[in-house]
Amino acid sequence: MIHPEQVAEMLKKSKTSSLLIPTSTGSVPLDPGPTVKPDPAEYQLASDDGKRTLWVVFVIMVVASVIFSALSWSVPMSRRLYHVITTFITVIAAISYYGMATGHGVAYHHVQVRQSHSHVPDTYSDIYREVYWARYVDWSLTTPLLLLDLCLLAGIDGGHTIIAIGADLIMILTGLFAAFGAEGTPQKWGWYAIACIAYLVLVWHLAVHGNRFATAKGSKVSKFFGAIATFTLILWTAYPIVWGVADGSRKASVDAEIIAYAILDVLAKPVFGIWLLLTHAKLPETNVELGGYWSHGLGSEGTIRVGDDDEGA
């Protein structure tokens, strides 16, 4: 009989005892090849400079609204149509800029950018850019009012005025759709193309018909309308250019976008408004006389007096 201690002594002396201990096989791990990690998400936001710009323009619009309201007091109610329209333009713009400055008129547009690699699968990086949708609400309300000012100044008929305003609304709304359009799809730039076509329709009606009607009012009105309409159309042509390098292709930063639009808005609204109202005051030919309900209210017309029904019975 073999004693357990003898078995243990034999195992210690045996060279094969190492087989009882697991050892490495010495094999080399397979090389998985090169790997590429996607970039972390990028957030394109407004800095303090952009936010300060929004507050500055808000103050400018408020001051302009007060000035336009004060100017309206110097003319009778029957001639305040330009003043009312122009004041509403800057009031709406002030509300819009207040919303953007406080962060309540902005949303994120998520974009995925594809990155191709030669030996590994493609990767995607995420970009989140601020889009100020309150700006489009502003434009959809104020630009028709601006057009109405110009059409009244030239004396354009109601049919062409409505067509110009309709084209303007299409331009603004399709611009909003394009701003939130999916990246890398033809739909985004398709909306942009529709907006540009609508703008050309607007220019056609304002320039061709506006010049014809303004000329019929005399040389002074024609000269003034030509100057202020050209000024407006140049500014409005700059808006889609800014959109293309900002919301469209994201080549410009959010701060640069805010500053560019701020300059254009100040020129297109307060500067346009003060120019229009001061020059209009010197040109009686541009007056739009409104009487009746606009100036005097309903008065006693249409009221029911006691006994009227009895007399007719």
Q: How confident is the model at residue 237 (pLDDT cuts 50, 70, 90)?
A: very high
pLDDT of residue 19: 47
pLDDT at 283: 86
Task: Look at residue 313 in the predicted model and tell me its pLDDT.
Answer: 46
The arithmetic mean of pLDDT across residues 56-82, rounded, is 93
Residue-level pLDDT at 128: 83
pLDDT tens digits, one per residue of 16-68 = 444 444 555 555 555 555 555 556 677 678 899 999 999 999 999 999 999 99
184-207 pLDDT, tens digit each: 667 888 998 999 999 999 999 888
Q: Domain of residue 259: give its range.
A: 42-285
- Looking only at the bridges linking them, the beta strands covering 42-44 and 107-115 are unpaired
Mean pLDDT (whole number) for 69-77: 89
CATH number, domain of 218, equals 1.20.1070.10
Comparison of pLDDT for 120 and 312, the residue scoring more: 120
Number of domains in the chain: 1
Is residue 21 in some structural domain? Answer: no
Check whether 82 has a pLDDT greater than 80. Answer: yes
Would you state the structure tokens that stand for residue 247, as one six-digit string? 């919301």
pLDDT of residue 293: 66
> Tokens 């040109």 label which residue?
283
- Report how far residue 311's alpha carbon sits from residue 99's, in angstroms, rounded to the nearest whole number: 58
- pLDDT tens for each residue of 209-225: 888 999 988 889 999 99
Q: Evaluate whether residue 159 is within a structural domain.
A: yes
Neighbours of 85 (CB within 10 A): 19
Higher pLDDT, residue 110 or 133 = 133
Q: Is there a domain that residue 297 lies in?
A: no
Average pLDDT over residues 286-312: 62
Mention every residue, 6+ apart, whose C-beta is less than 8 A from residue 173: 136, 140
DSSP 78: G
| Nearest-angstrom CA–CA distance, 270 and 218 | 27
Task: Give the list of residues 6+ apart from residue 300 with CB closer than 8 angstroms, or none.
Answer: none
| 308 domain residue, yes or no | no
State how far the Cα of 194 lies from the Cα of 141, in Å rounded to an integer.
19
Q: What is the pLDDT of residues 130-156, one digit of tens each?
A: 889 999 999 999 999 999 999 999 999
Judge contact between 153 and 228, C-beta under 8 A: yes
275 or 4, higher pLDDT:
275
**Residue 2 included in any domain:** no
Return the pLDDT at 228.
Answer: 95
Answer for the pair 196, 240: CB distance below 8 angstroms, yes or no. yes
Taking CA atoms, 175 is separated from 58, 111, 149, 249, in Å, by 23, 17, 23, 14
Q: How many CB atoms lie within 10 A of CB 149?
A: 22
Helix or strand or coil: residue 56? helix
| pTM to 2 decimal places | 0.78
Amino acid 208: pLDDT: 86
In a domain, 313, yes or no: no
135 part of a folded domain? yes
Q: CA 181, 184, 188 angle in degrees (round to 5)?
A: 30
Residue 136 confidence (pLDDT): 94
Please state, rounded to an integer, the average pLDDT across all residues of the chain. 82
Residue 8 lies in a domain: no
**What pLDDT does 115 receive?**
60
